[in-house]
Amino acid sequence: MKIFGIAGYKNAGKTGLMERLVADITARGLTVSTLKHAHHSFDIDHPGKDSFRHRAVGAQQVLLSSAHRWALMTELRGAPEPTLQDLLGQMAPVDLVLIEGWKRDHHPKIEAHRNAAGHALIAPDDPTIRAIASDTVVKCDRPVFDLDDTPAIAAFILAEVGL
């Protein structure tokens, strides 16, 4: 499986770029999965539902399945957060896994950057950032794409990973 990341600070445009990239790359006939890092607690389950109740009383894992999809939820219960590599090992094989977040990990990535967010670029201090996608002119020693030029960004990523 090939992997490539989209990194950047909050409100930099990462999620929108991820959505557009998945649509563009799958339209090219490739299979894509995504892996997103959250810095906060989250829940994909709802209070009162059976699966929520199973977790609430102590189940380590709950697998929920239907004719349309299945989801496996794992409670860490104080264990350390899994590494990116551990999580990638849990994923079914596809052509490309796009990773949102994990900006300090050592996989290749594009930095999403919005001027209005007010953050400095990560790229100058991070050689794993192969390019920048920005809504403003950026001076850098790496390729810079318009944040909305999804086809060019997708082509760059696919070339980088050899697809």
The region, left, alpha or beta by phi > 0 then psi within -120 to 50, assigned to residue 8 is left
pLDDT, the chain, mean: 92
pLDDT greater at residue 73 or residue 21: 21
> What digits encode the pLDDT tens for the residues 17-44?
999 999 999 999 999 999 988 765 656 7
Contacts of 41 (CB under 8 A, 6+ apart): none
Domains in the chain with CATH codes: 2-44+80-161 (3.40.50.300)
pTM: 0.89
Res 87 pLDDT > 60? yes
Kindly tell me the sign of the dihedral angle through the C-alpha atoms of 89, 90, 92, 96: negative
- Residue pair 39/32 in contact (Cβ under 8 Å)? The answer is no
